[in-house]
Amino acid sequence: MSANTENLKTPVLRFENAGFAYPGYSPVLSEFSASLYEGEIICIIGASGCGKSTMLSLAGGFLLPDSGLITDSRGTVSGPEPKRIMVFQDSAQLFPWLTVFANASFPDADPTHVSELLEMVDLADAAEKYPSQLSGGMKQRAVIARALAGRPEILLLDEPFTALDAPTRRGLQDMLLELNSELGVSMMFVTHDIREAVYLADRLLIMTPGGVKMMNIELERGAGKRDEFSNEFVAIEREVYGIISPDKS
């Protein structure tokens, strides 16, 4: 356990010898065990088609393991529920017929908490706007506000910033780190961008055809704290790249 994870209190999600395969295909996971701790950010990274989104769907209860167990703070995960909330890869997750505030309140979140969240994601001034009036970055902030409005234990994010330009992405990554620090919500974050993963994560969950590898990131985490041009950061990036693409490293 790293310096980052030593202070983490309790596991909020556990994979215990979990296995999963789509019918007729090789297993995506077999005998996989790992835990997500309270307040921790795990980034799931790997080549396209390696099963990153499948891993997230298992954590969310949208898929169930063929073998082994996945448990959360209330017991075995048997389906999706609001305490494990998912931000999907689809770009059109906001309901176009609801304002930003109504979207963030969906289905029945506490309005005071929603107002606070909209302040935190810098959307307070856009609360009465409709999604069609928002930029891509604002839409993703609204999606994240909605995801957090029900006070989930775990936020599961499937490549949420892929379609955004680099400065907007960095702003949202920092926002996510601040939300994590202020709300203490645990996160699993799927990305194909190694730099994004190293910037955000306490630990990386690296998926390769040969299996799943966990890696601690021994850098201080927080908004703007990791310098992506520092030697340490670049060295971690290279190491991860070497694991994902051993032939090209």
Partner 1 sequence: MKRSLPGTLLWFVILLVVWEITARSGLVSELVLPSITVVFASFGGELISGSLLSGTFVSLGFVVAGILSGAFTAFILAALSFQFAAVKRLSSMLTAVLHPLPGIAVLPILILFFGIGRLTLLMVIIHSVLWPLVVNITAGFSSVPAVYQKIGANYALKSSAFFFRIMLPASFPHIFSGLKTAWARAWRAAVSAEMIFGITGSGGGLGWFVFQKRIFMDTPGMYAGILMLALIGLIVESGLFHLIEAETLKKWGEA
Residue 81 touches partner 1, criterion: CB under 8 A: yes
CB atoms within 10 A of CB 145: 28
> Cα 198 vs. chain centroid, distance in angstroms?
13
Rule CB under 8 A: say whether 78 interacts with partner 1: no
Identify whether the C-beta of residue 127 lies closer than 8 Å to the C-beta of residue 99. yes
* H-only helix segments in the chain: 3-6, 52-60, 100-105, 111-120, 136-149, 166-183, 194-200, 231-244
Give the β-pairing of 154-158 and 186-190: parallel
Do residues 33 and 18 touch, judged by C-beta distance below 8 A? yes
User: Counting contacts by CB under 8 A, is residue 88 touching partner 1?
Assistant: yes
Q: Which stretch binds partner 1 (CB under 8 A): 68-76, 82-90, 198-206, 228-236?
A: 82-90
Among 11, 19, 68, 150, binds partner 1 (CB under 8 A): 150
Is 135 an interacting residue with respect to partner 1 (CB under 8 A)? no
106 lines the binding site for partner 1 (CB under 8 A): yes
Helix (H) or strand (E) segment spanning residue 14: strand 11-20
Residue 136 touching partner 1 (CB under 8 A): no
Contact with partner 1 (CB under 8 A) among 85, 126, 198, 244: 85
Please, are residues 214 and 34 in contact by the beta-carbon 8 Å criterion?
Answer: yes
Q: Which of 6, 23, 75, 97 binds partner 1 (CB under 8 A)?
A: 97
Q: Is 131 in the site for partner 1 (CB under 8 A)?
A: yes
| Total chain residues near partner 1 (CB under 8 A) | 23
Closer residue to partner 1, CB minimum distance, 69 or 98: 98
Q: Is there binding between residue 80 and partner 1 (CB under 8 A)?
A: yes
75 binds partner 1 (CB under 8 A): no
For partner 1, the binding residues in 218-237 under the rule CB under 8 A are: none
Question: Phi/psi of residue 211, each to 5°?
Answer: 140, -170
Pseudo-torsion of CA 78, 80, 86, 92, nearest 10°? 140
Within 10 Å of residue 219's Cβ, how many Cβ atoms?
Answer: 19
Applying CB under 8 A, which part among 112-120, 124-132, 160-168, 173-181 lies near partner 1? 124-132
Residue 16 touching partner 1 (CB under 8 A): no
Note whether 205 and 55 are within 8 A (CB). yes
CB of 105 to partner 1, least distance (A): 12
Residue 97 CB, nearest distance to partner 1 (Å)? 4
- Nearest distance in Å: CB 108, partner 1: 9
Measured CA to CA in angstroms, residue 200 lies from 45, 54, 181, 197, 240 at distances of 12, 20, 12, 5, 14
Residues that bind partner 1 (CB under 8 A): 60, 62, 79-82, 84-86, 88, 90, 92-93, 95-97, 106-107, 130-133, 150
